[in-house]
Structure 1
């Protein structure tokens, strides 16, 4: 008796991840790569590579929220748990130590991390697409290049100026972030609480 050969199995779509609300790794990565021109890596979750199209300032979420209220509109901002990533122009990570010195923050330990070449951040789902509970989210999503006319780009260091309204966006942003990080650290110290442990290595200057 000739055995019955079962029909071929239907392959699942490549990169399908049921934990991400049915969105595939390919769909998420394609949006960043094709719509924004950003490099990605990994699959669960997708990561955005820093140091190419942008760098990132990573700070405690509370300090980041307070800083954003002070500086107003800025570049894309992502939230992952208790950490906030503020996207800035590529090369900003290299400029940060000197900029903090110029802003007179050089002698202060800050829970502030700059990610440049070789770094990566978790990619939130594209705007309007759901993600799993606890996933990274865009607080200020990026716009595709064809939609960016009249919208702010990545905060950049275009030259040193005063700390007033004519200062470059990166200077205002870094000064506000450093102020709020230091304020949060002092608040915890006064309350007798230890400094929060950061997932990334904070900058410290002696």
Structure 2
């Protein structure tokens, strides 16, 4: 795991933005998630964004956006991915959040995993609901779909799962996905460690 990090080569693709002003209205957005997709939402509070319940249809693996982009090749084409605040949220099979600590340990990341910037959302958690995809300018700081879910499709079949280890079935392999994002998170941490002191010295001498 240790060593000099290679130069960054990937860029974050542009997410898909809300298609019209009505798409951002909580009532219409909630209808899309609950009726078209069959996803549970958290009861709305005045002035708060709509949130999606995790741990029922899916869990979420939240990582730095660059690590999320690196992981796209390990996801099925229909596997949803959201972006918000420089973080990527990869939808994974329900129950994966409980498996993550043991999986990271099995992959020999050990205590280093605590500093990787990996976070899992599962039962009892929730994530901000991204707006429906479209070409319009997004609200600053709002969650957006990089890979949106498709109405009328069962999302579970496209989600990374531990049971797919070794290529069994059509679902992506959760082990390979976690190892990919953990490796990229480690590289990001190494880059920051390498650039931090130099940046500080440059500021001090200016």
TM-score (norm 2): 0.72
Asked if structure 1 preserves the Cα contact closer than 8 Å seen for 2:63 and 2:118, the reply is yes
Taking a change above 3 Å as real, the CA distance of residues 32 and 174 of structure 1, as seen in their structure-2 partners, is same
| Among candidates 116, 119, 142, match of residue 125 of structure 2 | 119
- State the number of aligned residues: 168
Offset of residue 192 of structure 1 = 2.2
Find the residue that maps to 2:60 and give its secondary structure: strand
Sort the Cα spacing of 1:36 and 1:104 in 2 relative to 1 into closer, same or farther, 3 A. same
Higher relative CO (CA 8 A, sep ≥ 6), structure 1 or 2?
Answer: 2
TM-score if structure 1 supplies the norm length?
0.72
Quote how far apart the aligned CAs of 1:34 are: 0.7
Structure 2: 5+ residue stretches without partners: 1-19, 198-206
Which of 128, 142, 147 aligns to 2:149? It is 142
| Structure 1: runs of 5+ lacking an equivalent | 1-19, 194-206
**1:26 maps to which residue?**
27
Q: Distance in 1 between matches of 2:29 and 2:172?
A: 33
CA positional deviation for 1:105: 1.3
**Contact 2:116–2:186 (Cα < 8 Å) also in 1:** yes
Q: Alpha-carbon deviations, 1:96-151, whole Å to 9, x = none?
A: 1111111111231321000111111111112237542332110111122x3459x9
Tell me if 1:128 matches 2:129: no
RMSD, matched Cα = 2.7
